[in-house]
A and B are shown apart, each in its own frame.
Chain A
Amino acid sequence: MSNVLVVLEFSDGKLKSSCLPGITCAKQIADANGGELHFLVLAADPASLAQGVASAGLGATTVHTMANPAFEPFTAEAWADGIVAAIRATNATAVGGTASSSLRDALPRAAALLDAPLTSEVTAVGANAVLTRPISAGRALLDQASSGAVSFFTARGAEFPATDSGGAAASIAVLAPVDVSARGVTVVDIQKTQSTRPALSEADVIVSGGRGMREGENFKILEELTDLLGGALGASRAATDAGMVPADLQVGQTGKIVAPNLYIAVAISGAIQHLAGMKGSNTIVAVNKDAEAPIFQVADYGLVGKWEDELPKIIALVKAVKAG
């Protein structure tokens, strides 16, 4: 059997929706290999979490659970130990999930412990489970084949649809507890970004601002458009480096990779590293005073103009559309 094991993450007792694209990718790998889809739940008390995902019918045949207080809060050290033990117990041949900050942290560590290859940020699954991933800020796509007893992957969330629920329920298998260790680390605090808006990775609409916004105060007009459209606020690296907005709003190779239905880039020139983070978006709108800005090369709709002039007009017009 060549079964694929997906490492799941939970928040407030519920499966994180960011896991769903990773499950879709894993299902494609399982289908390409002729194997089954399995889930892994690592938690202090995984029973009810596992029950929830097993009954949701997300395409897995088995949900494996491993209980250990050291799994909470997340540390790459303890999770890598748990993942390695789970692979040994389940004989999975491929292991992965959505490329979240946690799995990017823990999976390569686990792969090293098993001397196994890892393909990061997978965007497509080909025949014989050859995995495609972007390199050089998305300017090239690399097709990678892996061999050996087990291989690892992380799937780029923006590139796979969310898995549907409502399929057959999965069975639950309790894995024997093993010793895991956080290697002496302590998670002191997790400072969550407070926002009433959807997460960048999940938003249907993103409005982003760049260096041309000049200062953080000017992002208020972008926030107005963002909230009008029910979207998330983003920014280019130039804007976050300048401290206009918090760093976790950054879209790009060095920030978040997003692919919303509508991406509106305001006063963003379009550096390669920014384009790498958003060019998978369905419809791209660019507003920039410089007609030569590279952002216009990827935009579906480009408007040359100052944001100070154009944004108030756009907001008024969108309000009129929304008012029907």
Chain B
Amino acid sequence: MKILVTVKRIPDPDESLKFADGGVDYSSSKWVPNAFDEYAVETALRLAEVAGSKDRLAEVIVMSVCPQGQRQHVTQFLAMGADRGVVVDADDSTLDSIAISKLIAEVARREEVDLVIAGKLSQDNEGNQIPQRVGGLLDWPQACFAAEIRREKDARELTVSREVDDGVEIKKVPLPAVLSVDLRVVLPTSVSNGVTAADHRYQEGARLASLRGITMAKRKKVQIFTPDELGVQNSGSETTRAINPPPTRPSGQMVASAEELVEKLKTEAKVL
């Protein structure tokens, strides 16, 4: 089995934004991997590996659209345990969701992967649409907002628990398929592949790279494409007109006691 995981670098979400000329200035930002993509790679590794053994059930390929000189995040995911990388050399901030989805779909086709795993959304753009688009472009089934994934040994289908508005939906998807993962997918027993012992508990969250992993990552293959080589142009149908700071909330007040709080909620805010 082959698994393609899409990953993205984002400006550190804990840094404050610098607004300039109707946009945001990221020139001095620190870049970090998108948290949901770390969960996606962790999910792929849990599906691919047999915990406690060197056996692998699948090859894990991480793919990113980014300038090829700025692919530290790809190296980081290779150090976590992904087998190899694909980088589409482009300034991703100039490409829209339509183009990015087509690049991913084209790589999935060329690599003949069985599964595409993506994070639910990127913490910077928050589009929450790329995996669904890739499902449509490939005409594959999709399971979005996955919180639990179960595969029976050698099965060509996955049973996915999805976070939906009023609870949890359990959906069986045949492979090949596209998944997007939500944060609960990295709880200790959220992913099972039918071969790793059923009672195996993973760490909570995405794994850290080991020293050996970091050394190995430098030797792993990363293939570089350009959007042209993949036959994809920007659609030009989405235009950012401006990026502005949100209106600030008027500053509130500190109250000294529960009595003062409830009194003000009653008489001033009139919410009781």
Interface residues of A (CB under 8 A from B): 18, 75-77, 80, 100-102, 104-113, 115-121, 130, 133-148, 151, 182-193, 199, 201, 205, 229, 237, 240-241, 247-248, 253-254, 261-262, 272-273, 279, 282-285, 296-305, 310, 313-314, 317-318, 321-322
Contacts and interface: CB of A to CB of B under 8 A. Distances in A.
A285 B240 CA distance: 35
Interface in B220-252: 235-246, 249, 251-252
Say what secondary structure dominates the interface of chain B: mixed
A74 to B, nearest CB: 8
B132 interface: yes
A283 B98 CA distance: 39
A140 B159 contact: no
B14 to A, nearest CB: 7
B169 A189 contact: yes
10 contacts: A117-B235, A139-B245, A140-B244, A188-B171, A205-B271, A241-B184, A254-B182, A262-B271, A301-B261, A301-B269
B136 A108 contact: yes
B271 A261 contact: yes
Nearest to B239: A145
Interface stretch (B56-64, B123-131, B206-214): B123-131
Nearest to A118: B129
A144 B246 contact: no
Nearest to A272: B13
Contacts of A111: 129, 133, 136
B101 interface: yes
A134 B126 contact: yes
A301 B264 contact: yes
Interface in B70-123: 96-98, 101, 120, 123
Interface stretch (B41-49, B141-149, B195-203): B141-149
A109 B123 contact: no
A94 to B, nearest CB: 13
Say what secondary structure dominates the interface of chain A: mixed
B136 A109 contact: yes
Contacts of A298: 249, 252
A192 to B, nearest CB: 4
B265 A301 contact: yes
Interface string B1-40: 0000000000101101101000010000000000000000
Contact of A185 (B141, B145, B147, B264): B141
Interface in B142-179: 142-145, 147, 159, 162-174
Contacts of A318: 262, 272
B218 interface: no
A143 B241 contact: yes
B18 to A, nearest CB: 10
A301 B144 contact: no
A184 B141 contact: yes
B172 A283 contact: no
Given A115-B235, A254-B182, A188 B259 contact: no
